[in-house]
Amino acid sequence: MTTEHPPLLGDKHGKYRILIIGNSGTGKSTLTTILSTKLNINSSNLDRLFWNPGWQETPTLEFKALVQETMDQNPEGWIIDGNYTEKVGMMIQDQATDIIWLDPPLVLYFPRIFMRTIKRWWGIQELCSPGCGETFKDIFLSRKSILAFCIEHHFVVRKRCREMMRNIGVGIGLDKERNCMRRIGGWGGALKGWLRDVDDMVRKRP
């Protein structure tokens, strides 16, 4: 391991309940897919639970029920990615054994989200949720554009997550009983190193 702490904490039974957070475009869904394969546990994307065709929002109570159902249906562990604390409160965080905050530089991930958005517009990449396509106007002429959202929320998300780290950061958080969150930033090297540690951990499991 590259640190004094294991890359994933899990619970006393060796099960992992992982929440992956970060701004739009930081690589949450990609990491979720990778970890799901490595750990052999199911994953869920909150965007797919929240957004219905035509960008219709799932009512809050129904959304909470769907999230709870997702966790209950996976007692052997789960991975959930998304930032919906304003909708579901602490229900995911409180049940997570590990919280991973992806925090790469904006100049690194904004080009990725730009290309992803264009590919979705052209129909060559899967939409964030079925029936939730975007037009030229949605992408470039709307204040609700995912591109505008990404830029506007970069520092908002960073400020919120830094506060979380002060409280529950692994090895540094004030709430010693809930030190379960770690930040992965940088230009990609830290994430690759952490994933190598996960591979080592998986190989050493009984």
pTM of the complete model: 0.95
Residue 119 within any structural domain of the chain? yes
Pairing status of strand 56-57 against strand 51-52: antiparallel
Chain centroid offset of residue 59 CA: 21
Asked if 21 and 28 count as a contact pair (C-beta separation under 8 A), the reply is yes
181: number of Cβ within 10 Å: 24
Lowest-confidence segment of 2-6, 34-38, 158-162 by average pLDDT: 2-6
pLDDT band at 188 (very low <50, low <70, confident <90, very high): very high
Instruction: Write the pLDDT tens digit of every residue in 73-114.
Output: 999 999 999 999 999 999 999 999 999 999 999 999 999 999
Q: What is the CATH number of the domain that holds 133?
A: 3.40.50.300
Instruction: Write the pLDDT tens digit of every residue in 13-56.
Output: 999 999 999 999 999 999 999 999 999 999 999 999 999 999 99
**Does the structure show a pLDDT above 70 at 1?**
no
Give the integer Cα–Cα distance in Å for 41 and 79. Answer: 7
Residue 113 within any structural domain of the chain? yes
Residue 64 within any structural domain of the chain? yes
- 54 CB-contact burial (10 Å; exposed 0-12 / middle 13-18 / buried 19+): exposed
pLDDT > 70: percent of the chain: 99
Task: Report residue 150 as tokens.
Answer: 């990404």
Instruction: Give the list of residues 6+ apart from residue 136 with CB closer than 8 angstroms, or none.
Output: 121
- 135 CB-contact burial (10 Å; exposed 0-12 / middle 13-18 / buried 19+): exposed
Pairing status of strand 56-57 against strand 181-185: unpaired
Count Cα neighbours of 48 within 13 Å in the Cβ-side half-sphere: 11
| Domain containing residue 200 | 16-204
Residue 6 within any structural domain of the chain? no
Residue 2 within any structural domain of the chain? no
Residue 4 within any structural domain of the chain? no
Residue 198 within any structural domain of the chain? yes
Q: How many domains are there within the chain?
A: 1
Residue 80 within any structural domain of the chain? yes
